[in-house]
Homo-oligomer: A and B are copies of this chain.
C-alpha cells in the first residue's frame, strides 16, 4: 500500500517507518532515502513549487510502478514544498519488503524516478537577494533512464 503526500511541514522518518511496519510481522527490511537542502554556493534557501493535482497523480503513479516491479509490503513518498532552509529535509522515500534487495532497489527507483517524473521546481535564494531556478541535470535523466531499460 502506497502513501504519497505533498506538504509544507517537515516529516518524521521514525513515525513514517513505524506506520509502514505497524501491526505487520512480514516486513524484513525498510530502505529509506532522505533528500536534504545543501548550502552549495551560499544558498540561503530553496523554494519549491509544484503543480497541485498533477503532483499527487505523478507520485501515486511512481509508487504504483514500484509496487508493480518489486514485491513490496508498502512504500511512502513525501515531498515538501515551500521555503526550505539548508540542512532541512526536502523529500522522503521509503520502501518496505520481506527481503532487503527489493526494498533497496525500489527505494533507489523511487527517488531516481521522482527526480524526473514529478512536477516540482526548485528556486535557489541567495543571501544577497539573487535567485536562480535550478536547472534539470542530464545525470538525473540518465538515472531514470536506467530503470526504463531495466523493464
Interface SS majority for chain A: mixed
Partner of A30, one of B26, B36, B100: B36
In the complex, the count of this chain's copies comes to: 2
> A7 contacts the other chain (Cβ, under 8 Å)?
no
* CA A131 to CA B117, docked complex, whole Å: 48
**Chain A residue total in the interface (Cβ 8 A):** 33
Q: Which of A13-21, A53-61, A64-72 contacts B (4 or more CB under 8 A)?
A: A13-21
* CA A85 to CA B32, docked complex, whole Å: 22
Q: Which of A74-82, A101-109, A122-130 contacts B (4 or more CB under 8 A)?
A: A101-109
Q: Is the CB of B12 within 8 A of A100?
A: no
12 A-B residue contacts at CB 8 Å?
A24-B87, A25-B87, A26-B39, A27-B36, A30-B33, A31-B33, A31-B107, A33-B103, A35-B100, A100-B111, A101-B143, A104-B104
